[in-house]
């Protein structure tokens, strides 16, 4: 289903975060959706929000926004940002 193998781990982590519910402090009131997971998968596979946005048929700013919302929701940084390349973190 997803190209990037770590998506399964992210989905498990997201499931635990969702299960914790109100006990987990979140900066955003919106829940994550499949669009957020698809954006993560495409960015991880391509290494950039530009290439991921082309693949997903959305704007680059939308891909960046989806990634930022997902990181805010989970409370972790999902990518190391190096110049023009995004590398998934080891966590």
Q: Which pLDDT does position 3 carry in this prediction?
A: 63
What pTM was estimated for this model as a whole? Answer: 0.69
Q: Which string of DSSP letters, residue by residue, matches 2-68?
A: -SSTTHHHHHHHHHHHHHHGGGS--S--SPP-HHHHHHHHHHHHHSSHHHHHHHHTS-HHHHHHHHH
Q: Which pLDDT does position 83 carry in this prediction?
A: 82
Q: Measure the CA–CA gap between 73 and 15, rounded to whole angstroms.
A: 12
Q: Which pLDDT does position 26 carry in this prediction?
A: 44
User: Which residues are CB-contacts of 39 (< 8 A; sequence separation ≥ 6)?
Assistant: 52, 56, 58, 63, 66, 67, 70
Q: Measure the CA–CA gap between 47 and 79, rounded to whole angstroms.
A: 9
H/E segment holding residue 87: strand 85-88
- Tens of pLDDT, residue by residue over 15-62, are 555 444 443 444 445 688 999 999 999 999 999 999 999 999 999 999
């Amino acid at each position: 289903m997803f190209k990037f193998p770590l998506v399964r781990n992210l989905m498990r982590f997201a499931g635990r975060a969702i299960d914790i519910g109100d006990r987990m402090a979140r900066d955003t009131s919106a829940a994550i959706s499949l669009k957020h997971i698809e954006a993560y998968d495409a960015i991880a596979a391509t290494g950039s929000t530009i290439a991921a946005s082309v693949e997903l048929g959305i704007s680059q700013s939308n891909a960046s926004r989806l990634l930022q919302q997902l990181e805010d929701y989970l409370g972790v940084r999902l990518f190391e940002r190096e110049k023009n390349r995004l590398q998934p973190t080891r966590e």
